[in-house]
Amino acid sequence: MSLACFLSQPTAVAVVATPFRWLQCVREPPAVGAFHQNAKIPPAGSNVATCFTAMLLLFFMLPTARAAAQEATEPQAAEKSAALTESDDGASGHIKTESDDGASGHIKTEPQAADWIQLFNGQDLSGWIPKIRYHELGENYGNTFRVEEGLLKVRYEPEQYPKFDERFGHLFFEKPFSHYRLRVEYRFVGEQCAGGPGWAIRNSGMMLHGEDPKLMSVDQDFPVSIECQLLGGNGRDPRTTVNLCTPGTNVVKDGKLFLPHCTSSSSKTYAGEQWVRVEVEVHGAGVIKHIIDGQIVLEYSQSQYDERDAHAKMLAEKQGGLLISAGTISLQSESHPIDFRKVELLVLEE
């Protein structure tokens, strides 16, 4: 079939008209409709010259149609890209990452409940060893440490404690730790044991990086350790909690060796018999943080033996250095009744 003959057929008109209809879909309908009318696509039976003119129009309009299609699809692609990258509220599905220095991109997540080790099982003293002054290791004199109603309680029965007589006690967990988070919930209750020191009213503590209780003498009052001191309000004065005391030890604070025996945190006072939840984060011989209500209230580092203390000096010589990178955890009995309902630990990577 000749070109002239083809162009005179209705099929030829359809071939020529189709690109204009497609262009109409991607451009504004009124404008394209007007153009389509002005182009005057011929009906069947038109002459060859007219059909040839239509073919020329098709040839010149193809680049324009292609550009129009690209313009129409680009905004959609841009919107889709923006939706994928937008992560202000995490809706895009991207995982937000962060790290201490903001560079490594490690995923920062809160540990699951299953990751925490329950040091206190809520039923008995399994895994714990008492050491009470003037008594042998393992002897729980006067049932000082006990479990009742799902709580770990420290009590002083009048028959065994007519006077406290400085019988300071510590309940040691059987296993030492180095890098960890320790979380405790406690409350002070009742009245202080008769004969208890004035400074020990509503006073207890968590001993960290402690010595092996097997190395303590029978009459030793406190283990060489780092104490996270727990205090309750006395109804008169501001009294912070999760303070620091250092029996036989020193730390570095604000870049300097810190020698005072005790220093206060920046916490508020917790009065009455309310439950208080506290946490310490321990990084071996590095940083230790005292945390309450999600806020760091005390921070220091480089826990070490104090050579001015003869027993601590012996421990330093035994291990071959001053820095303390690991040790026991213990809970105190210092003459005021206290309850613990949770003692749990999360092991951290070194």
Higher pLDDT, 171 or 86: 171
Q: Which helix (H) or strand (E) holds 267?
A: none
Q: Residue 69: its pLDDT value, please?
A: 47
Q: Which two tokens stand for residue 175?
A: 């296993």
Q: Domain 113-347: give its CATH superfamily.
A: Exo-inulinase; domain 1 (2.60.120.560)
Residue-wise pLDDT for 65-124, tens only, equals 455 445 544 445 444 444 433 334 433 333 333 334 433 334 345 667 779 999 999 999
Tell me how far apart the alpha carbons of residues 321 and 315 are, in angstroms, rounded to a whole number: 9
Sketch the domain layout of the chain as residue ranges: 3-84, 113-347
Residue-wise pLDDT for 134-158, tens only, equals 999 999 999 999 999 999 999 999 9
Candidate from 18-22, 71-75, 267-271, 303-307 with smallest mean pLDDT: 18-22
Residue-wise pLDDT for 38-74, tens only, equals 444 444 444 444 444 445 444 555 455 455 445 544 4
Query: What pTM was computed for the model?
Result: 0.70
Tell me how far apart the alpha carbons of residues 52 and 4 are, in angstroms, rounded to a whole number: 9
Tell me how far apart the alpha carbons of residues 20 and 42 are, in angstroms, rounded to a whole number: 13
Length of the chain: 350
Query: Are the C-beta atoms of 264 and 276 separated by less than 8 Å?
Result: no
Query: Are the C-beta atoms of 302 and 322 separated by less than 8 Å?
Result: no
Task: Give how far the C-alpha of residue 262 lies from the chain's centroid of Cα atoms, to the nearest Å.
Answer: 28
Q: Is residue 182 over pLDDT 70? A: yes
Beta strands in 58-168 (DSSP E): 117-118, 128-132, 145-148, 151-154
Q: Is residue 262 over pLDDT 60? A: yes
Q: Residue 60: its pLDDT value, please?
A: 52
Higher pLDDT, 84 or 2: 2
Q: Residue 61: its pLDDT value, please?
A: 53
Query: Are the C-beta atoms of 6 and 48 separated by less than 8 Å?
Result: no
